[in-house]
Chain A
């Protein structure tokens, strides 16, 4: 299945909407698109995964890498729109305690 990534940047927020399935085949496209965006200083990045029907460990690895990069550059990182299954994936791996998932951050477009 194809993966589509939409990037919407405002003065205060960088919103990235992902649709499709994230696996070993589509994860490189995801990494190539959003990793450079995480290099900006103080970026306020929100990833919307409400259109993602499947994600495996490869996708999780991409988001962890981006999260680390955003934090290293003094930014904020958040993932929202997680389905129950994806939210459980973050909980099982203990990442829900580290990465802000499924909560609102200041300036986000609802």
Chain B
């Protein structure tokens, strides 16, 4: 029973004194606190004779729940035992506790999310490591493939070089050539052959494009022109046969079709005549002893381009001391036609080797200035 209550608590609970004094303590407790009161407060105060900081909920006259902290001290009187209670409202503490609980829940959620993210990261890391391992394996395969390819290309380059003929030098004629591929293999090829005592067959071809595909075609043409020219077959017939060969090669594959420009000459040192066929090739220079330059211009379209072409030849008469220069467009693209013409003129009296070096020097000087790279090939013929 409530024996006495101070004014502050009365105001707090919005009760009048006579509403609580003499009433059971339950009157100012919530329903749940009444059970708590009976289960804990009463036995504890009986046993320990005091209670410190017990949390309990009071109830005001209008039914509002007021959380409080209770300290109680039991005093034994003559007739009965009296408990003195001090009550502290703890509304804010409750709010703080709720906030703490929310914060705790949030941190637990964040921790769980972090664990989940960590697990996912570990999975990703493992997948990444597996991919990296695969990549290293592929890199190794690629490196090996590159080495093998380089070796193969070097071998192919040697084979292509082997197919090129050596310079000819005798009392009637001198022939020398220069051949440089833009990559490992070249789409340019040449050949010069002594047919008999007075006749020499010379050919220079430039297969469209450059690199491996063009080089394969040059080698395919090489075996044919070598045989034909060595047998003294006329230049227009050589061209016709090469033309037929290319059409047969690409008859069912338009996409792979390659054409080829070529110039073929037969020099007769006895008759001092040259018969030539120019199949779409840059015009060869013919410089006479007075330094006057003529061009051996196109007589027909390139070989392998149109079917049924009848190749023709032209004939010129030369004198001792005349000089011929045959070249591919890989020479005139960086140097220009006029530059090459001037080099030929300026070195009219220079030996064949000197002119050759001058042209190579000019090409080397242009190497970094001209942005397109093409195979380069030229042949110099001195008629003595």
Contact = CB atoms under 8 A, between A and B. Distances in A.
Interface string A42-84: 0000000000001011101100110010000000000000000
Contacts of A98: 301, 306
A54 B372 contact: yes
Interface stretch (B33-41, B140-148, B204-212): B204-212
Interface in B281-297: 281-283
A58 B261 contact: no
B301 A94 contact: yes
A94 B258 contact: no
Interface in B237-262: 254-255, 257-259, 261
Contacts of A56: 209, 329, 372, 374
Nearest to A32: B255
Interface in A78-97: 91-95
Interface residues of B, number: 26
A24 interface: yes
Contacts of B374: 56
Nearest to A97: B301
Nearest to B260: A57
B280 interface: yes
Contacts of B2: none
B210 A24 contact: yes
A23 interface: yes
Interface in B220-275: 254-255, 257-259, 261
26 contacts: A23-B372, A54-B372, A56-B209, A56-B329, A57-B206, A57-B209, A57-B329, A58-B208, A58-B209, A60-B208, A61-B208, A61-B209, A65-B254, A65-B257, A91-B298, A92-B281, A92-B298, A93-B261, A93-B280, A93-B301, A94-B280, A94-B298, A94-B299, A95-B280, A95-B301, A98-B306
Interface of A: 23-24, 31, 54, 56-58, 60-61, 64-65, 68, 91-95, 98
Interface of B: 206, 208-211, 254-255, 257-259, 261, 279-283, 298-302, 305-306, 329, 372, 374
